[in-house]
Amino acid sequence: MSDNNMTHHIANYRKVFIFLLIGTTLTVLASYMELSVQNSIAGAIFVGLTIAFIKGYLVAANFMHLNSEKKMIYWILLLTIFFLLLLLFIPLLWDLNHMSNY
């Protein structure tokens, strides 16, 4: 990579760093929503996790260079995410089914 390209990378990393700090601040603020507004716990969880996913995307896309990776890496990650979703949802579905029996 050329020096020019690297300068572009550095400017990008700086921006991502600022966005991540803003995201962290917003996540902390979202957690206080439940203290000031009644019954907004679900809303706070939704906002908090959405910010976490955006922050995660920023780290993966920029610092881990997933925005410009080879196909092989994307296939590995797609397969992993498929199994991760199975892992996350099968127990949850089982639990819901289990509870509906009562």
- Can you give the binding site for other proteins, defined by CB under 8 A? 1, 3, 6, 9-10, 13, 16-17, 20-21, 24, 27-28, 30-31, 41, 44-45, 48-49, 51-52, 55-56, 59-60, 63-64, 70-73, 76-77, 79-81, 83-84, 87-88, 91-92, 95
The CA–CA distances, whole Å, from 59 to 32, 33, 63, 65 equal: 25, 26, 5, 9
Q: How far is the CB of 36 from other proteins (least distance, A)?
A: 14
Q: How far is the CB of 28 from other proteins (least distance, A)?
A: 6
Q: How far is the CB of 37 from other proteins (least distance, A)?
A: 14
- CA 12, CA 14: separation in Å to the nearest integer? 5
**78 within 8 A of 53, measured Cβ to Cβ:** no
DSSP three-state, residue 2: coil
